[in-house]
Amino acid sequence: MNTERLKNKAAVVTGGASGIGEAITRRFTAEGAEITLLDTNSEAAVRIAAELGGRAIWCDVSQAESVSEAIAALDRVDLLVNCAGIAHIGNVETTTPEDLDRVYAVNVKGVYHTMHFALPKMLSHGGGVILNIASVASKIGIPDRFAYSMSKGAVLTMTLSVARDYIAKNIRCNCLCPARVHTPFIDGYLAKHYPGREAEMFQTLSAFQPIGRMGEPCEIAALAAFLCSEEAAFITGSALDIDGGVTLLR
């Protein structure tokens, strides 16, 4: 892929060293963007950045000072993709206050921090595009995902708020709502919780999507590239489902 839809755009991808974030990093580079990865996995981020000719900055998105320093090191930010996030399994009874705080710190405050510090840079160069990775859990009830759903619901509503507040300032803000996507996280989760039954449980998780499979990171990245390009100049304040039909049947 080399359409150069994002040519000469300075793009920041949080969580860009693995899973969906890595796929977005690679796709944006192929589309001509100048990529900066923000990630806590320095080894992977540096390796990927070196391979792609981009830049890696260690950053803990849950910490305001860490994000402030990372964004301050950049000359400009045209595109911001908030992909960093963590998962949690449990209902409201089994989710401890510590669990909730941990998920909130990364999935909610992390998105706030990057938008808070990147927006002034976008505005100083005439505008930009923000894309947040939310989830189908933003819109529907999923069993035993209390804290995770809370956080992704917040991502969706933060997206709408920023889109509304900055629509007259040439800032577009959208979010994607994927269902299950086959990433190394899924494989690790199955190995940890279902040793010896990985293949069986993989099929169970896949069947959750009416289309009959999980999404692939490259599919999320393809839609992300479109939404951050000028081809999507008329789209803002949208939460786009990319879920294999999950919300279709809810």
* Longest pairwise C-alpha distance within the chain: 55
- Residue 88, pLDDT above cutoff 70: yes
Is the same domain home to 33 and 149? yes
The predicted structure's pLDDT at residue 3: 77
Is the same domain home to 210 and 220? no
CATH number, domain containing residue 99: 3.40.50.720
Domain residues for 86? Answer: 10-179+216-243
Mean pLDDT of 30-50: 97
CA atoms of 37 and 93, how far apart (whole Å) = 36
Q: Please state, for a pLDDT cut of 90, what percent of the chain lies above it.
A: 93
In the chain, the DSSP E strands lie at 10-14, 34-39, 55-58, 79-82, 128-133, 171-178, 239-242
Is the same domain home to 104 and 185? no
Mean pLDDT of 132-137: 97
The predicted structure's pLDDT at residue 169: 98
Is the same domain home to 158 and 203? no
Q: What are the backbone angles phi and psi of residue 214, rounded to the nearest 5°?
A: -80, 160
Is the same domain home to 31 and 110? yes
Q: Is the four-CA dihedral 47, 51, 56, 62 of positive or negative sign?
A: negative
Is the same domain home to 206 and 83? no
Is the same domain home to 163 and 231? yes
Give a yes or no: residue 2 inside a domain.
no
Which residues are marked as active site?
148
Is the same domain home to 125 and 208? no
Is the same domain home to 143 and 171? yes
207 to each of 110, 134, 165, how far by Cα in Å? 31, 21, 39
Is the same domain home to 54 and 81? yes
